[in-house]
Structure 1
Amino acid sequence: MKWAPLVIYAKWSKVESEFGDDYSFLLLIGNIVYGVAAIDSVSQTQSISDGKTLVSKGGVFELGFFSLGSTTKRYLGIWYKNIPIDGVVWVANRANPINDSSGILTFTSTGNLELRQNDSVVWSTTYQKQAQNPVAQILDSGNLVIRNEGDTNPDMYLWQSFDYPSDTLLPGMKLGWDLRTGLERKLTSWTSPDDPSLGNFSWGLMLYSYPEFYVMKGTQKYYRTGPWNGLQFSGVSDQIQNQNAMFVSNDEELFYSYTLINNSVTVKVKIINASFQTHVWEKEKEKWRVNIITPGDFCDMYGLCGANAVCSITDSRVCQCLEGFSPKSQQEWNTSNWRQGCIQNEPFHCKDRDVFVKYVGMKVPETTHTWVDENINLDECRARCSNNCSCMAFTNSDIRGAGSGCVLWFGELFDVKESQTGGQDLYIRMSGSEFEQDGHNKSVTIIIATTIAATGAIILFCIFVICRVRRNNAESKVKDNIESQLGDLDLPLFDLLTITTATNNFSLNNKIGQGGFGQVYKGKLADGRDIAVKRLSRGSGQGITEFITEVKLIAKLQHRNLVKLLGCCFQGDEKLLIYEFMVNGSLDSIIFDQVKGKFLDWPQRFHIIFGIARGLVYLHQDSRLRIIHRDLKASNVLLDEKLNPKISDFGMARTFGGEQTEGNTNRIVGTYGYMAPEYAVDGLFSIKSDVFSFGILLLEIICGNKNRALCHGNETLNLVGYAWTLWKEQNALQLIDSSIKDSCVIQEVRRCIHVSLLCVQQYPEDRPTMTSVIQMLGSEMEMVEPKEPGFFPKRISDEENSSSNPNQMTSNDKLTITSLDGR
């Protein structure tokens, strides 16, 4: 049955000669049969031409010719049969597309599979084994295999596409090396979504003594996973869900692979520019959900902290020297240029005179210079390292159970990271004399600190007793007032002692931010949860208003792109809001930082843009009350461990009921640089005010610059004015941040710039809604031309220009307005 169409075509001339014009009826039958009985293989005497396909037996994958986007170039590849978007998983002729539909896949007389365009060979296979009646077959795993007819043993395949991956790792594929043949299996990114030719980034395995995977940008290391420690890769916090992962290392092969526990779920891993991403197909929504993105935070940037330092995204200073080491250049270190790393304070004395400091939950150092013995335990490993004066660190090679095996590091320790989930124990050498001196200093410090703390506690207690009686009445009134306004929100109330303990009494070392009405601190509760505590300024009349507003609003909001309120605390003068802690901090701390900004590539920025837009759609349309944020800006967008954006700070928000869509106020609040003109001048606000702010934020994400004044020719422009000038000159792509030029998708960036200019138009009625914004960002729909933006460039006179520095840049977006009189 499956060969029926081929039989019909093979005997075509005979049919035509016998039946004349009536053969068209038989052609129709042949085509129907071909469609019903899809074939999964071809033999040496058959071929596949453009327009014909092979379909795996279970109907999972399909092989044939395809084009991408608007191009007419044709590629031979494999894609998911029943997934309509982004389904291509393998391409044969990545670097050599066919210009028309003349391509044909056929076997040569010697048994090799060959892709031809007319008389030219576009792509072909070669075998190590002898071909006898070869058959090419597409399997339900997505693997195109060539085997001798009748031989179904996978070990006897003549050739398979799984040995030559494109940009996608499917379940059952091997990523690594066949040491017998020297075959390397690695993923390489596409140049763009419409061009599958080899991109700049690849993901492959380095054959060190302790092997590990790297994402490479050309020949430069960009990110490393850390070595396999028996459970996972040392530096990868999130593992693929619903998977059985394995790493095989023996004399014949060295590879990573995974299979699915639940085969009804469709999962693939792709390298897209600088990151590899786990995609899960959501059948009901008919879309791919990005489940994991790796690298996941800026500490994953290769070599960010240099040698002998550790990177931690939870510390206020990202890079810290290891114990016993100091910055090689203190001046560079103070400017957050850490790549020169750290050097030893004291030389090692070797053997029993040195100590080993235990670091917990670490991505272990780069394994270029390591020694491995899988047959000794940790105590023997420590002895080996201690007796070798060049050994810098050691750990178990396998951390399963009680741990086993031994890894020693020699030379500088490079690219060490503190892992949030995962990682392993690492023992790092420290000079014995340094340790003794450090221990003595710590003891003295502890004694002094304890004495001061005890004395201070007694004094504070006396003051507390005297003042408490006087404050009780006032405190009770404030508390009753707040409680009456908050009503029954079913929100946990934290006591002040719990929060002061969690934040180390609001230590400056715990401070992570500053808002218009107070400061933000990181804390850790007794149960281990990390929290962010917003401490409203004492004595601020506005503070109580914003406190009540924020609690009322955000306690009722539940959306993945809004920060979650865990509880609140009001006691005496203290008014505290307790939020979930966002590991990667605020968006502005990354996109406006020259070092951290390089980590945030375009796919991640585009992901953040969509998340912010979804959060605003919820506020404007899907929540119980229509909510206007009124202070949307980069510092009020927080990023979690997976770089998902969450809108925060609702102290200035206003709610609308029913069909109300706009309002006005004499008390204008917000931040210069993000305010819509009708709000800044006349106090008029609406959902279109937030749209304007979103447009500014969108430009900042693309450009990596704040919306501040800058010089362009003989005009002083803010970012909006500069973008508008470039748009009119048809040079808008000059706006792109240099750190994302290698990773950006030009069509997406151009569309985002277009949308941003639509959002910042002068008049609210011209601006789109956030629902329309999402539709424009996520499709190829036509968009109207933007009109002039809300704030115009100011022309500089020759006198002004001669008396000022033409390179001076002045900021206009850090000032938070608390009160203005609207006209």
Structure 2
Amino acid sequence: MQCNKSGQGDTITPTQFIKHGDTIVSSRGTFELAPVTNKYGVLKVIRPGLIVLLNDTNATVWSTNSSKSVQNPVAQLLDTGNFVVRDANDPNPENFLWQSFDYPTDTLLEGMKLGTDLVTGLERYLTSWRSSDDPAPGNYTYHCDPTGYPQNLMRKGANVTFRAGPWNGIRWSGAPNLVNNSIISFGVVMNSRVQGWVNYHSAVVDDCDTYKLCGAYGTCNILSDPFCQCLDKFEPKHPDDWERSDWSSGCVRKIPLNCTGDGFIKYSGVKLPDTRNSWFNETMTLDECRVVCLRNCSCMGYTNLDIRNGGSGCLIWIEELVDIRQLSQSGQDIYIRMSASDIDSAGSKGKTTVILAIALPLLVALILLGLGVGLILCKRKRREDPVLTTTGRLGGHSNKNDNSNQIHQENFELPLFDLLTLTNATNNFSFADKIGEGGFGQVYKGVLEGGQEVAVKRLSETSEQGLHEFKNEVKCIAKLQHRNLVKLLGCCIQGEEKMLVYEYLPNRSLELYIFDEERSALLDWPKRFNIINGIVRGLMYLHQDSRLRIIHRDLKASNVLLDIEMNPKISDFGMARSFRGDETGANTRRVVGTYGYMSPEYAVEGIFSVKSDVFSFGVLVLEIVSGKKNRRFVHPDHHLNLLGHVSTVTPNESRGQAKHVNCDYDAEQ
């Protein structure tokens, strides 16, 4: 084998045919598996136009595949990173017999494509490695699926786990943060010959990106609790399953369709549904799209194919709409087929609005009176409720109906940060510095002028509970100091901006490790035991040793952060409640927290106590030990979650003799 350097890259010249029995069957090649187990592998190029890899026994391990036979093939590694086979006599240097860019493995380089060549049938897709040191194909693949209207899908085996949503001319509908800028650009190429994607960015994935989490006609909102809700005018198909936080059965219309007199209701701000059962036309108007959908009783919804310049094209869905999520920004409109009764109901609401508008002048005096009364009540509540002021003090509270707040009769000092300081520290709250998001708002990594790294939790303008959580978190942990609690460094209150500043923990949340196949390998059993032990110490401090008895009420893997040495720190006290030393629990009408971690008496009756945190801790321990999520646990023999599985099997299961029994949970045990 002779290697020459050329301006196009390294060249491998042809050798003689390989004589190895029936190893090479045709110019396309069919080869047996014979892995290279030592350093004696040989790479050759042969005259039909093939590259072959041989092991030390001259058995073929791997080969390129070409339907064209040439007499003078050469193999080249181009400057782009593309390894190609071409005919040296061909005047067109880009007429490749085979190229590595058609098989991108786990990395997409500039010039590669994802998608299917509709002429040759070749599909280009990404494949994960089996492990960090084993490049064999793993369980995950990432495809541009051309079924219906093209969209990007991630699969684990044959099952879809994530869907980026269809291309709308500007972005993928399920990834509103991916927009073209001065550094990167992306788009879709789609014509009669090829369909492919060009992507130079990655999307942030959260629980609502789990494929079909809420079932048909269910919508997922990461800021709501629970995540899944039925679309307006829909209801759960199996209410009992939804009570158990199993939303996979989805929703159905309250009033069924009959295909006569049906119409459409507009739903806004959503990630568009799965488009594998869809049809599209690039030239139709939205009105023409509506007519086409209305004529087909199987058409369940429609929208514009391209949202640029006021919208154009037609995209319609056949049969059920699945994998919808609510987006706080950049969501799209979709028109969903509804019964005539639902359409009339929506129209009657419009008429009611008109009547109210006409009657509005007659109600001015009453409204002014109401505003006056409201102002008086607001001032009275302000005197009674603790308010964070620009002095950084948390005032007293005299609400007799809330025993947990009666202890706050003294002022708490808390350092204040200037808005400009935090803006500079987070690069103007750039997307690149965003490290998390929750019901309160978004969390950013920041670096102060002195070099100190901090985590800045910024109250979202759309957050409904954020202000309550902001005040509650300061009240609960402003003076708590423990090695297993995240330290609150200060806050910022300036205009409409409200932010909390914490110590920065580089390893982020426990959830990122125990549920990830690769990262979980970093947590050996001593580390897992240390994490469990640290959480226990933090809880004991909250429940017994701190000046206030604190019940966290939202203990879960994502609320346990890890420092540089993988020591755990409990975070996010927005849902917490504080008590006097002789109080151990209470009852509430407002149940908050995360389903799957809530104790039964709290989820059903609103009764919470230190035992509620202990229950959540038990679920967390099972997740740390097993590496499985309680609400995502799957077993071939039953539909129980992880907690139900553990509590209903006998020791015989280890011998393959699982026996399920009924167990009643005693809140006092």
- Length-normalised TM-score, structure 2: 0.60
Question: What's the CA shift for 1:546?
Answer: 7.1
Q: Deviations over 1:276-326 (max 9, x none)?
A: xx6xxxxxxxxxxxxx455x0111111111111221212223122222221
Question: What's the CA shift for 1:101?
Answer: 1.4
Q: Deviations over 1:128-179 (max 9, x none)?
A: 2232311101112211001111547365111101112212211111111111
Contact preservation (8 Å) 1:216, 1:222: yes
The residue identity in structure 2 corresponding to 1:393 is G
2:305 corresponds in structure 1 to 397
Q: d(CA) in 2 for partners of 1:606 and 1:440?
A: 59
Question: What's the CA shift for 1:601?
Answer: 3.4
Identity %: 31
1:534 corresponds in structure 2 to 469
SS in 2 for 1:244: coil
Question: What's the CA shift for 1:465?
Answer: 7.7
1:373 corresponds in structure 2 to 281
Contact preservation (8 Å) 2:304, 2:313: yes
Distance 1:722 1:566, change over 3 A: closer
1:111 corresponds in structure 2 to 49
Distance 1:470 1:40, change over 3 A: closer
Q: d(CA) in 2 for partners of 1:398 and 1:415?
A: 20
Contact preservation (8 Å) 2:272, 2:324: yes
1:307 aligns with 2:186: no
Contact preservation (8 Å) 2:72, 2:89: no
1:499 corresponds in structure 2 to none
Contact preservation (8 Å) 1:359, 1:428: no
SS in 2 for 1:40: strand
In structure 1, list runs of 5 or more residues that go unmatched. Answer: 8-33, 48-92, 260-277, 279-291, 493-509, 514-520, 556-564, 571-575, 582-586, 592-596, 614-630, 637-650, 653-664, 676-687, 698-703, 709-716, 727-731, 743-804, 813-823
1:737 corresponds in structure 2 to 628
Q: CA RMSD in A?
A: 6.1
Distance 1:487 1:434, change over 3 A: closer
Contact preservation (8 Å) 2:278, 2:318: yes
Contact preservation (8 Å) 2:286, 2:313: yes
1:264 corresponds in structure 2 to none
Q: Deviations over 1:619-648 (max 9, x none)?
A: xxxxxxxxxxxx9969x9xxxxxxxxxxxx
Q: d(CA) in 2 for partners of 1:316 and 1:94?
A: 54
1:134 corresponds in structure 2 to 73
1:239 pairs with one of 153, 169, 178:
178
Q: Deviations over 1:208-243 (max 9, x none)?
A: 231222211211222222222222222233438733
Question: What's the CA shift for 1:44?
Answer: 0.7
SS in 2 for 1:236: coil
1:490 corresponds in structure 2 to 418
- What does 1:546-561 align with in structure 2 at a 5 Å threshold? 554-555=489-490
1:41 corresponds in structure 2 to 11
The residue identity in structure 2 corresponding to 1:229 is N
Q: Deviations over 1:651-710 (max 9, x none)?
A: 99xxxxxxxxxxxx98487779999xxxxxxxxxxxx9997961899xxxxxx998x9xx
Q: Deviations over 1:15-73 (max 9, x none)?
A: xxxxxxxxxxxxxxxxxxx9x999711111499xxxxxxxxxxxxxxxxxxxxxxxxxx
Contact preservation (8 Å) 1:346, 1:431: yes
2:568 corresponds in structure 1 to 694
Q: d(CA) in 1 for partners of 2:328 and 2:521?
A: 25
Q: d(CA) in 1 for partners of 2:15 and 2:51?
A: 11
1:168 aligns with 2:107: yes
Contact preservation (8 Å) 1:94, 1:197: no
SS in 1 for 2:192: coil
2:38 pairs with one of 88, 96, 100:
100
- What does 1:207-222 align with in structure 2 at a 5 Å threshold? 207-222=146-161
1:387 aligns with 2:301: no
The residue identity in structure 2 corresponding to 1:336 is S
Q: Deviations over 1:321-371 (max 9, x none)?
A: 2222211111212222111011112233657652331323x2211122222
Distance 1:458 1:444, change over 3 A: farther
2:117 corresponds in structure 1 to 178
1:146 corresponds in structure 2 to 85
1:190 corresponds in structure 2 to 129
The residue identity in structure 2 corresponding to 1:737 is K
- What does 1:70-469 align with in structure 2 at a 5 Å threshold? 97-117=35-55, 118-151=57-90, 153=92, 155-239=94-178, 242-258=183-199, 292=202, 296-348=205-257, 350=259, 354-360=263-269, 362-437=270-345, 440=348, 457-461=371-375
Contact preservation (8 Å) 1:324, 1:435: no
2:400 corresponds in structure 1 to none
Question: What's the CA shift for 1:127?
Answer: 1.4
The residue identity in structure 2 corresponding to 1:257 is V
Distance 1:465 1:689, change over 3 A: closer
Question: What's the CA shift for 1:192?
Answer: 0.9
SS in 2 for 1:382: helix
Q: d(CA) in 2 for partners of 1:340 and 1:533?
A: 34
Question: What's the CA shift for 1:809?
Answer: 9.0
The residue identity in structure 1 corresponding to 2:292 is R
Q: d(CA) in 1 for partners of 2:563 and 2:81?
A: 49
Q: d(CA) in 2 for partners of 1:722 and 1:478?
A: 37
- Length-normalised TM-score, structure 1: 0.50
SS in 2 for 1:302: coil
The residue identity in structure 1 corresponding to 2:41 is G
- What does 1:491-640 align with in structure 2 at a 5 Å threshold? 525=461, 533-534=468-469, 536=471, 554-555=489-490, 565-567=491-493, 578-579=499-500, 601-602=516-517
Question: What's the CA shift for 1:479?
Answer: 6.7
Q: d(CA) in 1 for partners of 2:229 and 2:499?
A: 28
Contact preservation (8 Å) 2:119, 2:193: yes
Paired residues, what number? 510
SS in 1 for 2:308: coil
